[in-house]
C-alpha cells in the first residue's frame, strides 16, 4: 500500500525524510520505503506520524479527506 499523504504532508512542511526518520527512530531508507509503499506502516508508526502532523490516522490512510482528529 502506498502512503501518498505522508509524503505530501512532509513536503508541504519542507521536512526532509531524514528528519522524520530520526523522529521515528528508523533509517532514512526505511522511511523512504514507507512513503513508497515498499514496507507497510506498523500501527505504532502510523500513530506516531498522525501525532507528529496533527492529523487523523484515517486521513493518513486515505479513508477520509478531513485531516482533523476526532477527540
Q: Domain ranges for the chain, please list them.
A: 4-60
CATH fourth-level superfamily of 4-60: lambda repressor-like DNA-binding domains (1.10.260.40)
* 3-class SS of residue 60: helix
Q: Which residue has the higher pLDDT, 67 or 6?
A: 6
d(CA 36, CA 34): 5
Instruction: Flag whether pLDDT at 68 surpasses 80.
Output: no
Determine the pLDDT at residue 70: 66
Q: Where are the beta strands (DSSP E) in the chain?
A: none
d(CA 38, CA 65): 23
Residue range 10-56, pLDDT digits in tens: 999 999 999 999 999 999 999 999 999 999 999 999 999 999 999 99
Give the angle 4-21-54 at the CA atoms, nearest 5°: 60
Amino acid at each position: 500500500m502506498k502512503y501518498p499523504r505522508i509524503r505530501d504532508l512532509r513536503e508541504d512542511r519542507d521536512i526532509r525524510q531524514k528528519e522524520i526518520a530520526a523522529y521515528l527512530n528508523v533509517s532514512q531508507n526505511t522511511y523512504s520505503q514507507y512513503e513508497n509503499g515498499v514496507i507497510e506502516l506498523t500501527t505504532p508508526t502510523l500513530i506516531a506520524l498522525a501525532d507528529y502532523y496533527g492529523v487523523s490516522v484515517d486521513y493518513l490512510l486515505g479513508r477520509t479527506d478531513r485531516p482533523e482528529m476526532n477527540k
